[in-house]
Structure 1
């Protein structure tokens, strides 16, 4: 168990400066590189892209970034956590593995967190009696249900912690809370109990 870890936040949104995470990996004494790509509108854009091409649906600048930083990440044992998987985390993971193979990097463990995408379960959820209403107006989702582009639930840090416990070097998620991305390595490295709300709160604020 470590006494301290350094977590670098390399991206704050899709389209953020790509040089920032490169500098953090190359020049920083860090243990984790965390990258947040997603907003609500981003999910819709990514879903549109996936509808046109099932190989898409993730932040497609990630493979180029990985090509620049992956050798150093392996050398310095820097783990990468990102929600840049969007609506296609598996596609993103496959693209990263292709980069690793191209670079001759072996034994890279890439974990994928799935389950946030519920677009295909909306009818089932409604049939079970769950009312999906607009939070601001209270209007039912039914009149616009057939126009939905994406529907996702938020995951927190837990599935990322599970991936780290299984030895993941890189964790790719879909819709995950911003704070979950950075909380996960703290829970994992420091062995925090999920019921210790003081620590979990402190990690969330951090």
Structure 2
């Protein structure tokens, strides 16, 4: 090996050693790269996303429980008395949906250490549309109990349309004022589902 070749090899070795040293220093100074999941978690902690309930959440759950109980009472009577299969099927669907929602909202109130339901007598049954065509829950049930056949079907649908409109108003208020993510999601579901059922009931009324 010539002297020139030895000098070139020595120079190349030195350059490679220097590069390795610089790379090691650079890696030591830079923090390790985080996974997307870790970055998202850190981002959530920094933004401090709200997860606690507020007074609007409590009122929504308390009043919607009372409201749903009224709908269940009407729906169960319709399952027994409705003359049209479509009306009976609708009543069964309303009862099947609102029963579990009552249980869900009740569980929230227990978790929040709040009263399970607002006082129906003093809290105002007209709240959130509990007034149905000028009648409260008791008057509506009394009126339905006196009817049979198509007359019952029509009155049930008319009262339930008014009842649903009250629920959608309550849900809209919750969406504007609430804070709990689960309560907001339920309010959105109630608004969308009951608006669809209002359209369905109005179509049934036109065909009775």
Given the two structures, how large is their TM-score scaled by the length of structure 2?
A: 0.24
In terms of fraction of residues, the more strand-rich structure is 1
- Which of structures 1 and 2 has the bigger CA Rg? 2
Given the two structures, how large is their TM-score scaled by the length of structure 1?
A: 0.25
